[in-house]
A and B are shown apart, each in its own frame.
Chain A
Amino acid sequence: MTDAAPDIPRRSRAFRIGPRVTWGAGALIVFAIVWELAFAAGLLNPRFVAPPSAAASAGWELISSGEFWGHAWTSLIELFWGSIVGIAVGVSLGFAMAQWRTVDSALSPTVWAIYSVPRTAFVPMLLVWFGIGLASKSAFVFLGMVFPMIANTYLGVRETDPYAIRSARSFAASRLETMREVIFPSAFPYLIDGLRLGAGRGIVGVIIAELYVSTNGVGYLLRLAGLGFQTAQLIFLTLFVAACGIFVSQFLIWLDHRIAGWRQADTATQ
């Protein structure tokens, strides 16, 4: 048995209904029941925590009111623009840094220096620069997306088999063709992984930025619920955001598996 052997079932296991799903779902159900019972028995202060049933009904109320979807739409748009620009800039920079040593030497110390500052520190400043609306939230999403995309694009391009590039070139592929037919497919799993990281950060990032200052969005709803001690709503919204994050992450894992299952990404996971 080699090191790689246990890897393959581990990767695919998540996509089948096996013990992982039954145990996980079972644990969640037991947890919810215990929580509900503890509440019914008066062990938990209803001012700080709401039982799952109350969270569910508060959630249902929110969802069936049209207001919620307006806020969700705002957050989605912020997420969308930040991600698109972050991906475009991150992939271009990462690609340029991997291809040309001059660009790499010039940019990488600066890029990593900025990367090492916790992104959240920029939130108040982004608000001053871009106002309290769409632009500042998108800018924050951008910060969360651009660095993982740079790092993973760089790694993916660098990890491309040099023989594959050389043989493509010797069969008269142009630079652009080599890029499109060899380097891009080879780097793809890395890109997906960067996207997964960036999307996860973006989703929590939008919420944090909206919590800080906003007049709109899911984070704004969370702020209202929190400051008004509407615990049931607060718990529902928190779980809703977590579920969105998990869904996007699982979807991208699935996509990677689907499109590039032939190649195992071994990326810098952060």
Chain B
Amino acid sequence: MTADVATPARSLRRIRTPALRKVALGLGFPIFVLILWEILSTNGIIDPVLFPAPSVIFGTLQDRLESGELTRDLWATLSAVFVGYAMSALIGLPIGVAMGLWRRVDFTLEPFVMGLYSAPIIALYPLLIIVSGIGFTTIVILVVMFAIFPIIINTALGVRLVDRFLVRSAVSFGATRGEVLRHVILPASLPSIVSGMELAVGRAITGAVVAELFIGNAGLGYSIGYYSGFLRLADAFLFIFILGVLGVLLRELVVAVERRVRYGTG
């Protein structure tokens, strides 16, 4: 009798307490670190120039908003990321599908994909500046060079690993090549394609930041470099923080779109 009563209570506690603990610890640790940082920095125990207190960092938010820099930078970075990402998907998906479908295409392109993936493309920025200037175009090119490879590689992988029985049975039921591609191969390789698209979000943002550090005249990466150069680390920290938030939001957006596509088309 007592066991019967005790069981649900105990199981309830077992479920709820760890979850609460998890949230408390997960929030508590960063809050603890921030408070410690604040105290150490405002008391000058750690150098407030090198490690400005969190209150100082977020205090700069208003200035940067009022000066219009934040809007300018967000717009510059976001537009480069969006255009570059869209181009990466438009170019990368067909290449990836072709590499996944035909072994010879795969073997032929593989050294180029691997080479460009591992090469420090940003080193070519002086040449790029001459060809396409220091503006938007050059930054978009660099975003594409960063973001396209996870898309190509994961799409090729997904298509290559599609169950051959599915393809064969579709063909034997009279599906044409286009139908097989659209109704069998693409849906079956969707998870892998999506994971490539997800990785590409982060890479696109990285590409934009790297490009802006070297050649931009606006953008979050540009401002981080600019303010660090003047030892105004509070402002630099603010832009890094905004960059982090942006990364998380964009990735969530891609995941949400992916979920829509997958369950929408069934």
Given A1-B165, A106-B25, verify A28-B233 contact (CB < 8 Å): no
In the complex, the chain A residue whose C-beta lies closest to that of B237 is: A125
B29 touches A23 (CB 8 A): no
Residues of A with C-beta under 8 A to B123: 207, 211, 219, 222-223, 226, 234, 237-238, 241
B236 contacts A by Cβ under 8 Å: yes
**Which A1-27 residues have C-beta < 8 A from chain B?**
1, 3, 6-7, 10, 19-20, 22-27
Cα A5 to Cα B114 in complex, Å, equals 25
A43 and B193 CA atoms in complex are apart in Å by 37
> Is A73's CB within 8 Å of the partner chain B?
no
The reply to whether A208 and B122 contact each other, CB–CB distance below 8 Å, is yes
Cα A144 to Cα B236 with chains together (Å): 20
Docked CA distance A7–B163 (Å):
12
C-alpha gap A113/B27 in the complex (Å): 12
Residues of A close to B50: CB separation below 8 A: 128-129
Query: Across the interface, which residues of B come within 8 angstroms of A208, CB to CB?
Result: 120, 122, 210
What does the 1/0 interface line of A86-114 toward B look like (CB < 8 Å)?
A: 00000000000000011001111110011
* Per-position binary interface string of chain A over residues 226-262, scored 1 when its CB falls under 8 Å from any chain B CB and 0 otherwise: 1101010010011101110110010000000000000
State which of B62-70, B103-111, B171-179 sits at the interface with chain A. B103-111
How many A residues are at the interface, by size bracket? 35 or more
**B243: Cβ under 8 A from any A Cβ:** yes
B124 touches A226 (CB 8 A): yes
Complex alpha-carbon distance, A207 and B160, angstroms: 34
Interface 1/0s, chain A 201-225, versus B by CB < 8 A?
A: 0011001100110000001001100
- How far does the Cβ of B166 sit from chain A's closest Cβ, in whole Å? 11
In the complex, A59 Cα to B239 Cα: how many Å? 40
Q: Is the CB of A24 within 8 A of B118?
A: no
Chain B residues with CB under 8 A of A243:
118
Contact of A27 among B26, B112, B224 (CB under 8 A): B112
Which of B29, B163, B236, B243 counts the most A-chain CB atoms under 10 A from its CB?
B29
B contact residues around A22 at 8 Å (CB): 107
Flag if B161 contacts A27 (CB, 8 Å). no
Cross-chain contact of B107 among A3, A24, A121, A249 (Cβ < 8 A):
A24
Asked whether, in the complex, the Cβ of B233 is within 8 Å of the Cβ of A121, the reply is no
| CB under 8 Å from chain B, chain A span 138-193 | none
Complex-state Cα separation, A118 to B202, whole angstroms? 7
Chain A residues with CB below 8 A from B33, complex form: 110
Q: Mark B121-160, 1 if CB is under 8 A from A, else 0.
A: 1111111001100000000000000000000000000001
Separation of A110 and B30 alpha carbons in the complex (Å): 6
Interface 1/0s, chain B 209-227, versus A by CB < 8 A? 1100110000011001100
- Which residues of B sit under 8 angstroms from A113, Cβ to Cβ? 30, 244, 248
Q: Any chain B CB within 8 A of the CB of A200?
A: yes
What's the Cα separation between A208 and B224 when bound, in Å? 15
What residues of B have a CB within 8 angstroms of the CB of A19 in the complex? Answer: 103-104, 107
Residues of B within 8 A of A (CB): 18, 21-22, 25-30, 33, 50, 103-104, 107-112, 114-116, 118-127, 130-131, 160-161, 163-165, 199, 202, 205-206, 209-210, 213-214, 220-221, 224-225, 228-229, 231, 233, 236-237, 239-241, 243-244, 247-248, 251
Question: What are 16 A-B contacts with C-beta separation under 8 Å?
Answer: A10-B160, A22-B107, A27-B107, A28-B112, A105-B26, A106-B29, A116-B202, A119-B206, A120-B221, A124-B228, A127-B228, A226-B127, A234-B123, A234-B127, A238-B120, A238-B124
